[in-house]
Homo-oligomer: A and B are copies of this chain.
Amino acid sequence: MSSVTIPPPACMLRPLEVPLRYLFGPGPSNVPPRILAAGSRPIIGHLHPEMYEIMNDIKKGIQYAFQTENNMTIAMSGSGHAAMECAVFNTVEPGESVLIAINGIWGERVAEIAERMGANVHRMVKTPGRYFTNTEIEQAIKKHKPVLLFLAHGESSAGLCHPVDGIGDICRKHDCLFLVDTVASLGAAPIFMDKQNIDILYSGSQKALNAPPGTAPISFNDRACHKMFNRKTKPVSYLFDMTHLSNYWGCDGKPARVYHHTGPVSGFFALRESLAILAERVKGYFPTSSVTFLNKKSFSSLDLRLPSVTTIAIPEGYDWREMLTYIMKHHCIEMTGGLGPSIGMVMRIGLMGYNCEKTNADMALHALADALKNCKKSKA
């Protein structure tokens, strides 16, 4: 066979159009020119020694960002969901019991992932934005005897930064691994993987790190490694199998790194640069929190507001969709509504990393005020 019957699509003869946007939602965030430039460097092979060197740099950068000395520290070739699946697939075997803290969308996602791979899933559920006390967590662990506890440190759907102090110790006491999601919080809220006894920690590239989406830092401590490298069954995914990924990242002590999959070379260049910017910050580890700029009525409980994503209760008498559309149309600013269980309950404003500047907060507040003036539906 040799003849083409599907013609070239007309849309492809138009130039690529990408509007300029202020990404003040829960991510992705705007990417600084230095990171964009790194991502557009001519590529090299994914198995060249110079690429391994860049991957080694990324590993060191993640260790710093996570505050860990874990050797088993890599970046996934995928988004935060890839890290989520990698964490669960590798450390849990079918039939084993896991405990998932759900107070927003991320716990729901991990529960869904764990169920699909055959785990026995137990859910602890709270209203979005509420947090779990250490006592509640210990009671649930005693009851369900899980091999793994999941908690989102940055619950971006509710704007909550969940306390983690002490939970790692409880998990250790009950021989359970502590898995923490910092996709929305890393680089914006303090996290100390080693000191806080977190066994598995992951994040994403496109939030406070300001790299394009598509890579996801993840780290496993010795307890997690012991569990995942002494299992009876293979993980359901070949692509996310840490036996192979640890070799690709030079973490397994073997002299040769063997071809596993083709890593996103440009994405790694960009991630490396985003971590370098984090390492270079001399005035302190964490950027100014958006909460100090956007100290509005918060949706989340107590004072545990997530610095990177501020949730604002929808003002009475307003349609949140209309407000967001108005702000995008008139100010080129992305803010978003809720996500999963918080849809229709909140609006979310994110000022992450590079975006976390007072001028941007002023722009966001100005746009909000403009929308409040022009989108009112009724008296409250």
Contacts and interface: CB of A to CB of B under 8 A. Distances in A.
Interface of A: 1-2, 4-9, 11-13, 16-21, 23, 25, 27-28, 30-31, 36-46, 48, 50, 53-54, 56-57, 60-61, 63-64, 67-69, 77-82, 84-85, 109, 112-113, 116-117, 165, 190, 192, 194-196, 204, 206, 212-214, 234-239, 259, 261-267, 269-270, 272-273, 275-276, 279-280, 285, 334, 339
A273 B45 contact: no
A90 B214 CA distance: 22
B60 A9 contact: yes
Looking at chain A's contact residues, the main secondary structure is loop
B6 A63 contact: yes
Contacts of A263: 79, 213
B196 A48 contact: no
Given A1-B192, A266-B39, A28 B46 contact: yes
A37 to B, nearest CB: 7
Given A25-B45, A42-B36, A79-B261, A12 B266 contact: no
A82 B276 contact: no
Copies of this protein, total = 2
Contact of A28 (B7, B11, B265): B265
Given A1-B195, A116-B235, 20 more contacts: A1-B190, A5-B67, A5-B194, A6-B63, A8-B279, A8-B280, A12-B64, A12-B279, A16-B269, A16-B272, A18-B42, A30-B43, A77-B78, A78-B82, A80-B261, A109-B238, A113-B238, A212-B265, A213-B265, A264-B264
Given A43-B30, A45-B25, A9 B63 contact: yes
Contacts of A18: 41-44, 50, 54, 269
Contacts of A38: 16
Contacts of A192: 1, 4-5
B214 A116 contact: no
A63 B270 CA distance: 30
A52 to B, nearest CB: 13
A263 B212 CA distance: 10
A215 to B, nearest CB: 9
A132 B335 CA distance: 55
B40 A39 contact: yes
Given A16-B269, A165-B1, A264 B79 contact: yes
B20 A213 contact: no
Contacts of A195: 1, 5
Nearest to A32: B42
Contacts of A196: 1
Contacts of A37: 40
Given A36-B42, A43-B23, A267-B214, A339 B259 contact: yes
A21 B2 contact: no
Contacts of A63: 6, 9
Contacts of A41: 16, 18, 36
B61 A12 contact: yes
A46 B26 CA distance: 11
B57 A44 contact: no
